Amino acid sequence: MSTNVGTIDRILRAALGVGLLYIAFLGGLPAFDGALLKYGAGIVGAVMLIVAATRVCPIYSIFGIKTCRV
């Protein structure tokens, strides 16, 4: 698969991923006491970090979107 995630998109995804993981597991917010929301946010955060690290987004590939320069 070719890269389809640009630099700004990558930075935003990494920040969102770290933020979601922090809120889910270290934030201590009462909304994240339930398992569904806690682990859901954790999974989404981990996926965001993986996409930021690999620069390949499967959803972008399906729709033919590229935010990176060629």
Q: Report which residue type is found at 7.
A: T
CB 51 within 8 A of CB 5: yes
Average confidence (pLDDT) over 39-65: 96
- The token pair at 14 is 């990494």
pLDDT for residue 1:
77
* Per-residue model confidence as pLDDT tens digits over 6-46: 999 999 999 999 999 999 999 989 999 999 999 999 999 99
Q: What are the residues whose beta carbons fall under 8 Å from the beta carbon of 57, sequence distance 6 or more?
A: 4, 5, 51, 65
Q: What local confidence, expressed as pLDDT, does residue 10 receive?
A: 96
d(CA 56, CA 53): 8
